[in-house]
């Protein structure tokens, strides 16, 4: 009753009163005030991405409710729900479900949404990992590409790579101690450097010939105790040696990618899009606000 009451109140919100489109698939509900065709293509893409991660915790993923993807039409509309000024997209989990929120979602902006989806996969898998590991995995998979042969992973995010080549690397003990409450999360330059190094370390550990055979269960091996000590143990190197390797790694000319086998035939047919009712769009937006701990969008 509480959620229904809030949803009815939300009909008065300017954004909720606009015409929204809804597209539904087995694992996602996508709400958008933008283009319906792009929404249909996006939800097919995310079903393909879902298949890639389903093995992380198959039982949990199968039983989980559908993820709500909310795509705003423009910057001003998105800002009314944005949790902070640095968030280009965001993931929230609350009593109303799991939400991935972004703006103007299309093939060029898929990486930011995939990044947030990886955070959801990590949460549902039960992994208890550091913020650096979480962000590193999210950045690592954010550039994935669906091809006829499968899913290609490992393409470097250009902005992250360039940032690393002109900055000093963060010592690993400091990197793994950062949390979302740390001061660097209030500074764009510092948080960008943190994300970039977290990506690079993940890429090196998972795909470089020197490390990949030792770190096949990287995230699970580093859950218990000190993550730096765990990394030193599984690699047989000191943290200083790993950091030196990482410095050389980010200055190389080519990066290894990997192609994961898969058959994506079942996702070729685009699902139907339909106008969302005022109650449906209001309930989705109200659930988002409730997950943020707010009663209304910014004016």
Chain centroid, CA 288 distance in Å: 17
* R_g of the chain, CA atoms, integer Å: 20
Under 8 Å between Cβ of 157 and 111: yes
DSSP 69: E
| Whole-angstrom distance, CA of residue 31 vs CA of residue 282 | 11
Domain residue extents for the chain = 1-127+264-299, 156-256
List residues bridging with 159 in a β-sheet.
Answer: none
Closest CA to 88 of 109, 119, 106, 118: 109
Q: For residue 56, count CB atoms less than 10 angstroms from its CB and return exposed for 0-12, middle for 13-18, buried for 19 or more.
A: middle
169-207 pLDDT, tens digit each: 999 999 999 998 999 888 888 999 999 999 999 999 999
pLDDT tens per residue, the chain (299 residues)?
444 444 434 443 444 447 899 999 999 999 998 889 889 989 999 998 988 888 776 555 556 789 999 998 878 888 888 887 777 889 988 888 999 998 877 778 889 999 999 999 998 888 889 999 999 999 999 999 988 888 899 999 999 999 899 889 999 999 999 998 999 888 888 999 999 999 999 999 999 999 999 988 878 888 877 999 999 999 999 999 999 999 999 999 999 999 987 655 555 667 899 999 999 998 999 998 888 777 667 76
| Whole-angstrom distance, CA of residue 125 vs CA of residue 128 | 9
């Amino acid at each position: 009753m509480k959620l229904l009451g809030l949803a009815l109140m939300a009909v008065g919100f300017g954004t909720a009163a606009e015409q929204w489109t809804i597209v539904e698939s087995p694992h996602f509900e996508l709400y958008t005030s933008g283009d319906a065709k792009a929404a249909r293509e996006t939800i097919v893409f995310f079903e393909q991405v879902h298949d890639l991660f389903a093995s992380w915790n198959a039982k949990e993923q199968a039983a989980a409710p559908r993820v709500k993807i909310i795509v705003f039409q423009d910057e001003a509309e998105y800002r009314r729900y944005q949790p902070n000024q640095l968030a280009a997209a965001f993931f929230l989990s609350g009593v109303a479900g799991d939400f991935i929120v972004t703006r103007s979602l299309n093939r060029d902006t898929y990486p930011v949404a995939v990044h947030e989806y990886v955070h959801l996969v990590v949460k549902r898998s039960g992994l208890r990992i550091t913020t650096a590991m979480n962000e590193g995995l999210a950045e690592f998979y954010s550039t994935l590409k669906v091809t006829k042969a499968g899913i290609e992973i490992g393409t470097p995010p250009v902005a992250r790579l360039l940032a690393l080549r002109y900055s000093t690397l963060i010592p690993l003990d400091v990197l793994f101690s950062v949390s979302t409450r740390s001061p660097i999360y209030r500074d764009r330059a510092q948080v960008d450097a943190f994300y970039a190094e977290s990506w690079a370390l993940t890429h090196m550990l998972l795909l470089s010939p020197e490390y990949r055979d030792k770190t096949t269960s990287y995230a699970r091996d580093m859950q218990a105790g000190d993550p730096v000590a765990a990394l030193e143990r599984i690699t047989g190197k000191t943290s200083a040696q790993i950091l030196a390797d990482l410095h050389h790694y980010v200055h190389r000319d080519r990066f290894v990618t990997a192609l994961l086998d898969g058959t994506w035939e079942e996702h070729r047919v685009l699902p139907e899009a339909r106008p969302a009712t005022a109650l449906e769009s209001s309930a989705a937006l109200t659930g988002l606000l409730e997950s943020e701990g707010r009663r209304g969008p910014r004016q």
